[in-house]
């Protein structure tokens, strides 16, 4: 998986909400137009397809603070560089 398990579960929750909305659109009063219903069906199907095709190995790229590991390293390096640059000016 390319994404975290929590993202995967959140996506499933979103699909459930869309399916509930679709049910209301189809069977509620007043009914939605066929074009709107078909668009919602296509949207739900595309979301499901994205989840189904996400079969790659999940690699945790976040540190213990929830920040991307490479971003944290880059941020620290740039921050240290800015401090050194400022220090040399004074």
pLDDT tens profile 4-55: 788 889 999 999 999 999 999 999 999 999 999 999 999 999 999 999 988 8
Cα–Cα distances (Å) from 30 to 15, 19, 35, in that order, read 23, 17, 15
- pTM for this structure? 0.63
pLDDT tens profile 48-85: 999 998 887 777 667 777 666 666 555 565 555 555 55
């Amino acid at each position: 998986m390319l994404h975290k398990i929590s993202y995967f579960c959140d996506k499933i929750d979103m699909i459930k909400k869309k399916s509930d909305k679709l049910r209301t659109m189809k069977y509620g009063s007043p009914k939605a137009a066929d074009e709107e219903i078909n668009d919602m069906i296509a949207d739900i199907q595309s979301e499901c397809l994205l989840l189904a095709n996400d079969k790659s190995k999940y690699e945790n790229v976040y540190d213990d603070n929830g920040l991307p590991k490479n971003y944290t390293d880059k941020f620290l390096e740039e921050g240290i560089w800015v401090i050194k640059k400022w220090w040399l000016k004074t």
